[in-house]
Amino acid sequence: MNSEDPPVSLIRLPRGKTTFAGEGVLFGWGWDRSEESTDDLQKVEARIMEYEECKKELPSNAYFENVNICSYSKGPNHFEGACDGDSGGPFVQYTSEGVELVGIVSWGYTPCKSTTMPSIYTRVSAFTDWIDDIIANHFVFLTDYTFRPVSQ
């Protein structure tokens, strides 16, 4: 990432969507092209695959359910996507309403740079009701809190 990238901020959740199409962007600190860990935030633009298309690409014993989506991106010499260390990272789409968190990295195949398999994500829209419930009923909001400097 570079200084021209926008700062970290809140992200929209996809509400009422069960299918996704088009392009998305995966961000993560996982292994890079050399299959080494990195301190630099990586990003890969990837095409979201239709559910049935993805299911056909995966082995029959792969865990891929209706709460998942998948993507792939063909790099110059190999497929690019989620790798070791990217789990839990965001897969986003840029929409007319803003940036939406479409998926959270779940799993993929290794070795990352030589696989022709797609990256698999948890589909965030499958869990927005649960997220709303947790925030509304189980999250403590600090509305009356005074921040003090930490003493040395």
User: What are the boundaries of each domain within the chain?
Assistant: 23-144
Distance CA 37, CA 74 (A): 21
In this prediction, residue 78 carries a pLDDT of: 60
The pLDDT tens digits for 90-146 are 999 998 888 999 999 998 877 776 667 889 999 999 999 999 898 888 776 655 555
Q: Is residue 152 predicted with pLDDT exceeding 60? A: no
Cβ burial of 32 (10 Å; 0-12, 13-18, 19+) is middle
2: left (phi over 0), alpha (psi -120 to 50) or beta: beta
Q: Which residues, 6 or more positions from 92, have their beta carbon under 8 angstroms from its beta carbon?
A: 11, 24, 25, 27, 99, 100, 101, 102
Q: Please tell me whether the peptide bond between 90 and the residue prior to it is cis, using omega within 30 degrees of 0.
A: no
Q: Identity (one letter) of the amino acid at 59?
A: P
* pLDDT tens for each residue of 65-99: 999 999 988 766 566 788 888 899 999 999 888 89
Residue 2 has pLDDT above 60, yes or no: no
pLDDT in the model for residue 102: 96
* pLDDT value of position 30: 84
User: How many other β-carbons are positioned within 10 Å of the β-carbon of residue 68?
Assistant: 20
Residue 45, φ and ψ in degrees, nearest 5? -85, 135
What would the mean pLDDT of 44-51 be, rounded to a whole number? 92
Query: Which CATH code fits 23-144?
Result: 2.40.10.10
pTM for the whole structure: 0.80
Q: Which residues contact 41 (CB under 8 A, 6 or more apart)?
A: 1, 27, 28, 29
Among 151, 87, 144, which Cα is nearest to 121's?
87
Is the pLDDT at 3 greater than 90, yes or no? no
